[in-house]
Amino acid sequence: MAESRGSLLAKSVQKHAGRAKEKFLQNLGKVDRTADEIFDEHLQNFTRQQNCANRLQKEFNNYIRCVRAAQAASKTLLEAIGETYESQWTGHDLLYVHCQSIDMLWQDFSHKLGDQVLLPLNTYQQQFPEMRKKIDKRGRKLVDFDSQRHSFQALQTNMKKRDEVKINKGREQLEEAKRTYEIMNSELHDELPALYDSRVLFLVTNLQSLFNAEHTFHSEASKIFEELEAIVDKLATDSQRGSYSVKKTNGASLPRTANYNNSSSLIINNISPTKPSVPDQPAQSPTKTDQPKTELTDQISVEQDKSSAPASPPQSPSKPESPKDNPTPTTNGVSGDAIPDAPSSESTSNRNGTTTVDSKSPSPEPSAPKKASSVAAVVNNISPNNTSTNSKNLEELYDIPVGASTDNLPPGVLYKVKATYKYNREDVDELSFEVGEIIQVVEYDDPEEQEEGWLMGLKETTGEKGMFPANFTRPI
């Protein structure tokens, strides 16, 4: 076994030495070499093709690393945006969903680049090292063939010591070297052009996958970013309207309260202003006030809410509000039942924000509650005898109504109501609904934004949140 290994090693050293000697002589021009121009052209094409594939693979690997880094950066950026975007701002939940969608787009994009572009490119590039080995082996066999050819020519030209045995052996070695070389040379003449021609189909398939992945990612991402832009535009609009402004509690609101007190004192004392009387306004759906309520406004709302009848269909705009929508006012602690039919200065108020007591007037269906800014309509009801009652009503302003069930409700839901009439919203922070829709009543985010006759709710079907008039619904 040791002798066999030794002999193989000796033959290998002798073969390498012979090839080195042959190449040296060929480089010096002492001996000729077998030329194959067609193969040389194939070899040039192969070398150029291999260099292009190597560079493409290198640059694409770098590109995918950058895409994955951008994906990670995008994810952390959107997380920061989601934390910064406050939960009570418009479109908060939708913004979170869109951010998740963008992250999924990044993952899908990175997956496609890896599976549909990089893996085929790696498979394509792996052909070149194997082909390069065959080309190098063909070169060694060509040197062996030239070396045997030159040795055989030397034996034939040496006429002094002509040895037929050596000549025959040299001829056999030459034929063996030639046959080995020609087999490999013939294979490469077929494989190299086929490999070179395959570059077109590979590039078409690979680049189509790349460009399609890019197109899909950027198209879908642009749609999502367009939605995000619309959410931010809506936030800007709401901010300009003061929806997210901090409510001031300093002396800036004192003059408004003082004005209300002055006006109410005039009405309580039945002192009519010098302004001409204005006809009663027709019944409307509840109107939200833009300014925060003062203590007096809250008290007025309590009295009006307490005296209002159950919600009824909205009245026609042309139909005036019935004087009996509000309870009969008290004067000096005497209820309206004790007032005689004939009007007097104590029981009759002017039309500047108050109602006239008339026991003979018909009682139509209750209309929607009037807006909270109608101070005079309720101040008449305030007297020293019911001050404690009013304070108690202030605490019970948003109590659960009679008939509303509080069992098995989701967290944060006070009770549920069912729409008895269709309502189309008139502002961006309101709800629109159809007859029969279920709405979950929840607390206002800011208690100062509470409006008399209005509730804050969530539609069960869509989860949309907003204000809605209570008289268009009934508790369930």
What local confidence, expressed as pLDDT, does residue 340 receive? 38
| Identity of the residue numbered 1 | M
| DSSP state letters, 435-453 | TT-EEEEE--SSGGG--TT
What local confidence, expressed as pLDDT, does residue 472 receive? 95
Tell me the backbone φ, ψ of residue 66, rounded to 5 degrees: -70, -40
- Is residue 53 a contact partner of residue 124, using CB atoms and an 8 Å limit? yes
| DSSP state letters, 202-227 | HHHHHHHHHHHHHHHHHHHHHHHHHH
In angstroms, the CA 147 to CA 26 distance is: 10
- Is residue 468 a contact partner of residue 369, using CB atoms and an 8 Å limit? no
In three-state secondary structure terms, 269 is: coil
The torsion of the CA quartet 260, 265, 266, 269, rounded to 10 degrees, works out to 160
Which is nearest to 126 in space by CA: 187, 47, 53, 233? 53
Distance set, CA 243 to CA 88, 205, 428 (Å): 10, 54, 11
Along the 476 residues of the chain, how does pLDDT read in single tens digits? Answer: 455 776 666 667 767 777 787 877 777 777 777 888 999 999 999 999 999 999 999 999 999 999 999 999 999 999 999 999 999 999 999 999 999 999 999 999 999 999 999 999 999 999 999 999 999 999 999 998 998 888 888 877 775 666 778 888 888 889 999 999 999 999 999 999 999 999 999 999 999 999 999 999 999 999 999 999 999 999 999 888 887 776 544 444 444 433 434 433 333 344 344 434 444 444 455 555 444 444 444 444 444 444 444 444 554 334 334 333 444 443 343 344 433 343 333 333 343 343 433 433 334 444 445 444 433 333 334 343 444 444 444 344 456 888 888 888 999 999 999 999 999 999 899 999 999 999 999 999 888 888 888 999 999 999 999 999 999 999 99
Tokens of 3: 């002798």
| DSSP state letters, 294-350 | PHHHHHHHHHHHHHPPSP-PPPPTTSBPPGGGSPPPPBTTB-GGGS-SS--TTT---
What local confidence, expressed as pLDDT, does residue 405 receive? 87
Q: What would be the CATH architecture of the domain defined by 13-240? A: Up-down Bundle (1.20)
> Where does CATH 1.20.1270.60 sit in the chain?
13-240
In angstroms, the CA 355 to CA 324 distance is: 8
Distance set, CA 350 to CA 260, 346, 424 (Å): 17, 11, 34
Helical ranges in 85-126 per DSSP H: 92-112, 119-125
What local confidence, expressed as pLDDT, does residue 440 receive? 96
Q: Quick one: how many helices (H) and strands (E) in the chain? A: 10, 5
In angstroms, the CA 298 to CA 322 distance is: 23
| DSSP state letters, 303-316 | HHHHHPPSP-PPPP
What local confidence, expressed as pLDDT, does residue 35 receive? 84
Convert 4-41 to b/e letters by CB count within 10 Å (16 or more is b).
Answer: eeeeeeeeeeeeeeebeebbebbeeeebebeeeeebee
In angstroms, the CA 340 to CA 94 distance is: 61
Tokens of 274: 């010098």
What local confidence, expressed as pLDDT, does residue 189 receive? 95
Identify the DSSP state of 291: S
What local confidence, expressed as pLDDT, does residue 30 receive? 73
Beta carbons within 10 angstroms of residue 93's beta carbon = 10
Q: Give the strands of the sheet with 473-475, arranged side by side.
A: 465-469, 454-459, 438-442, 413-419, 473-475
